[in-house]
Amino acid sequence: YFKFITNLSDLIEILLVSVNFGWPSVRKLRGKMAFIVRNLSMDELQFVSWSGSPTHLTYVAEAIERASKGEVDYLIIYVDGVPLGIGGVDYMVNVGVGTLYQLSVHPDYESRGIGTALIQALEKRTVDRGCTAAELSVEIENARARALYERLEYSIIGTTTESWREEADDGTITVYTCECLRMRKTLQ
């Protein structure tokens, strides 16, 4: 939808074009940063190397392929024209629940509302798919991310052990295993 704004100093956030129509969402964050949220494409992978190793980017590429089958949504968020956040929601893990995963904001731009905007966009996609809840996992030691999720009304529902392939700077691949909190939010 479009909204006419008469007082820009009061503008915190505005959605100019709805994601539902296949157009990117253009917003203002705290009246200062314009951002666009849209589906991540294979062509954009080269711009998000900050999000992880080549092995991680392989996981992201697999998610983009799954998005073409409707199994997941995988989004990118541009802030002032620069890609600074990515993340997905998987609809195949639990029936009626969107599982948020691989949430990443460029480390130099954390705590500026980008992660919140990304999660809210993923939650909207989840609701649009008819899901009634969103879940995610966060490493127990990641207090900063946990605080964000709690602020966004996610509650702890249990613990889980998770693992994935991780690539060191020298190209060595190992399996990283960690204990995570499972968190859930009811969506409306």
Q: What pTM was estimated for this model as a whole? A: 0.81
Sequence-distant (≥ 6) Cβ neighbours of residue 2 within 8 angstroms: 16, 17
Q: b vs e for 7-20, b when ≥16 Cβ sit within 10 Å of the residue's Cβ?
A: eeeebeebebeebe
Buried b (16+ CB within 10 A) or exposed e, 130-161: ebebbbbbbeeeeeebbebbeebebeeeeeee
pLDDT in tens, the chain (188 residues): 333 333 333 232 333 322 333 334 444 444 556 789 999 999 999 999 999 999 999 999 999 999 999 999 999 999 888 999 999 999 999 999 999 999 999 999 998 899 999 999 999 999 999 999 999 999 999 999 999 999 999 999 999 999 988 888 888 999 999 999 999 999 98
Q: How far apart are CA 119 and CA 98, in angstroms?
A: 11
Cross-strand bridge partners of residue 167? 173
Fold topology of 34-186: Aminopeptidase (3.40.630)
Count CB neighbours of 46 within 10 A: 9
Q: Where are the domains of the chain?
A: 34-186
DSSP bridge pairs for 105: 85
